[in-house]
Amino acid sequence: MARGQQVSQELSEVLNQLWSLDKNRLRPGTDYKISLQGRAGYVAQGSNYARDRASDPLFTYVNEDKLKHIETYAHFINLLDNYETSTGVSETVTSEELKENRLFIDSIVETDVMKCAHKYLVRKGQSPADLGQFKKQLYDIWFRLYHRDRSGGEDSCGFEHVFVGETKHGHEIMGLHNWVQFYLQEKHGHVDYKGYKARANKDTPDEDDHVLNLQFSWKGLVKPVGGSFIGVSPEFEVALFTIIFLMSNEKMTSAVVKVDEYMLELVVYRHGRSIGTSYPKLLSSNNRDL
């Protein structure tokens, strides 16, 4: 358990409903394969060097045919090249990119996962029942541009930070918590997986775990540790982090939940009416204390 926090039973219940409805989640060992290799060591934030405990990529196989033919993944992937990853550089959103954003939202709200999340949020008085208004709410939370770096213009949004990744002044990786982006960046030689993060060697995660704490380099920088779901659908991540964002007005919300076999700390930072960042931290799996 993280720092004495209690498990949120109600959040756990609704997130397990989302988990069971996530039929677009890819199956480990079948739809994708990962190679965890070594346990990564300590690296200070801002360092550009980490000892490589993994000589091979994290992903050894991903069924790209599924990514192309499942609508939500296909629309999601279309969004990944729409951003300037350096903070302080203003984003320019083209009409084509606006259309891609809306197509992604249109596709995810049709899934059982997002329908369940919407129903829950309406019941809690946090979202409008009208589907068009709910889509607008999702757009504001994930795609509304804002100033992350005061030296620039509107240079960021929740989607860019969480799913695409950003760099801060050329010395820090921020965000990049999505497995599809990680896989594609790794495939093109932009990401170098350094190893999994755990407290001790006996806490080695399994290669069929759907949540991992990772260390990696990207754009010449090192991320000491980043939490990511593995294999889950884009709609699942958007749904669960939207729920946590809307159920609290705090600048930072940390909720400990039990989802399937995983004890997780789900962290969400608010940036006005939008998400600043959101990510999972794996606390334990299969009763293993990580």
Structure tokens at 191: 């990401």
Q: What is the pLDDT of residue 152?
A: 59
Q: Is 171 noted as a catalytic residue in this protein? A: no
Write down the pTM of the prediction: 0.92
Least Cα distance to 249 among 279, 274, 270 occurs for 270
CA distance 212 to 262: 10
User: Which residue among the candidates 223, 258, 271, 281 is catalytic per the annotation?
Assistant: 223
- Tell whether the torsion through CA atoms of 8, 14, 16 and 19 is positive or negative: negative
Domain ranges of the chain: 27-230
Q: Whole-angstrom Cα distance, residue 39 to residue 50?
A: 12
CA 116 to chain centre: 19
50 neighbors 222 (Cβ within 8 angstroms): yes
Active-site residue (options: 161, 197, 210, 258): 161
- Catalytic residue status for 75: no
Would you tell me how many other CB atoms lie within 10 Å of the CB of residue 194? 24
Q: What pLDDT does residue 2 have?
A: 40
* Phi, psi at 251, each rounded to 5°: -60, -40
| Cβ neighbours of 8 (radius 10 Å) | 17
What's phi and psi for 213, nearest 5 deg? -105, 125
Of 75, 177, 258, 281, catalytic: 177
Contact between residue 233 and residue 22 where contact means Cβ atoms under 8 Å apart: yes
Active site residue 161: yes
User: What is the structure's pLDDT at 157?
Assistant: 87
Per-residue model confidence (pLDDT) at position 1: 40
CA distances from 102 to 23, 117, 154, 222, 231 (A): 22, 18, 19, 33, 23
pLDDT in tens for each of the 290 residues of the chain? 444 467 789 999 999 999 999 999 999 999 999 999 999 998 887 777 888 999 999 999 999 999 999 999 999 999 998 665 554 455 567 888 889 999 999 999 999 999 999 999 999 999 999 999 999 999 999 998 877 666 556 667 889 889 998 877 677 788 899 999 999 999 999 999 999 998 655 567 889 999 999 999 998 889 999 999 999 999 999 999 999 999 999 999 999 999 998 999 999 999 989 999 999 998 888 655 54
